[in-house]
């Protein structure tokens, strides 16, 4: 938008024909799925960029022998970010990335504890770029990948989203999303400070189904903070 001289969402909506609320959701990353192909094509034309670059940050340069190159002044689509590699068993060294363990989180016998089991159901191997880890200050050995279940955190997180949790981050912080072991269950909730107390809160509008719960070290422990979400894109 900046490169095309588009000042705001309303102007982009006028140029592209894409409704402003849709543009707002895309910019905020809200929704279970990414924008539709037809929507991306309209936005690409309005912004004066190739469709493929808008999809994944690359453009096919026919003058460069068909090699995929990054658009000028934009980040290259490298392993600095989270991505999925198929089950090709390529090495971490060759990728320049760190493999993230896929797990299924289950409650333990004790109320404030949990157990992590290998999870083969959530798909491909997960890697995170070393550059991304370095910038964020994360230790790859302290990160876990697991699938979101249920609707308790919609519309921010949806069932099937893959979440990356940092086990090293257990410090209470207002507004961040954490994974908790709470009274024999594993919960993903937003931590909120209210009236001098800490609360585990759902983002879902169905508050009767997912009432907020007070944080107490006697029956609750923080597993880690959610630091990345990967949603299905169509």
For the chain, give every domain's residue range.
9-70, 83-230
Read off the pLDDT of residues 53-75 as tens digits, 9 standing for 90 and up.
777 666 544 334 444 444 434 33
The CATH code belonging to domain 9-70 is 1.10.260.40
- Classify domain 83-230 at the CATH class level: mainly beta
Query: Where in the chain does DSSP place strands (E)?
Result: 58-61, 67-70, 83-85, 97-107, 114-118, 125-129, 143-147, 162-166, 177-182, 185-194, 197-201, 213-214, 220-230
User: Where residue 177 falls among pLDDT bands split at 50, 70, 90?
Assistant: very high
CB-count burial class (<10 Å; 0-12, 13-18, 19+) for 140 = middle
Helix (H, G, I), strand (E, B) or coil at 227: strand
Full-model pTM? 0.58
pLDDT in tens, 136-163: 888 888 898 888 888 899 888 888 888 8
């Amino acid at each position: 938008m900046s490169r095309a001289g588009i000042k705001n969402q309303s102007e982009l909506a006028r140029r592209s024909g894409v409704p402003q609320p849709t543009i707002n959701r895309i910019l905020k990353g809200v929704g279970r799925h990414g924008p539709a192909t037809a929507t991306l094509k309209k936005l690409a034309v309005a912004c004066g960029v190739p469709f493929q670059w808008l999809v994944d940050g690359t453009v096919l340069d026919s003058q460069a022998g068909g090699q995929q190159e990054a658009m000028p002044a934009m980040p290259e689509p490298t392993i600095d970010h989270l991505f999925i590699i198929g089950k090709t068993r390529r090495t971490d060294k060759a990728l320049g990335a760190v493999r993230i363990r896929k797990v299924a989180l289950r409650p333990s016998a004790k109320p404030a504890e949990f157990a992590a089991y290998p999870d083969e159901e959530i798909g491909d191997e997960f890697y995170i770029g070393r550059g991304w880890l370095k910038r964020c200050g994360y230790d790859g050995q302290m990160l876990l990948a697991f699938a979101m279940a249920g609707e308790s955190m919609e519309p921010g997180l949806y069932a099937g989203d893959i979440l990356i949790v940092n086990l090293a981050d257990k410090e209470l912080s207002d507004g961040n999303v954490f994974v908790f072991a709470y009274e024999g269950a594993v919960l993903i909730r937003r931590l909120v400070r209210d009236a001098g107390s800490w609360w585990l809160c759902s983002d879902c509008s169905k508050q009767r189904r997912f009432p907020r719960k007070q944080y107490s070290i006697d029956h609750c422990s923080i597993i880690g903070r959610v630091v990345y979400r990967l949603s299905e894109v169509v």
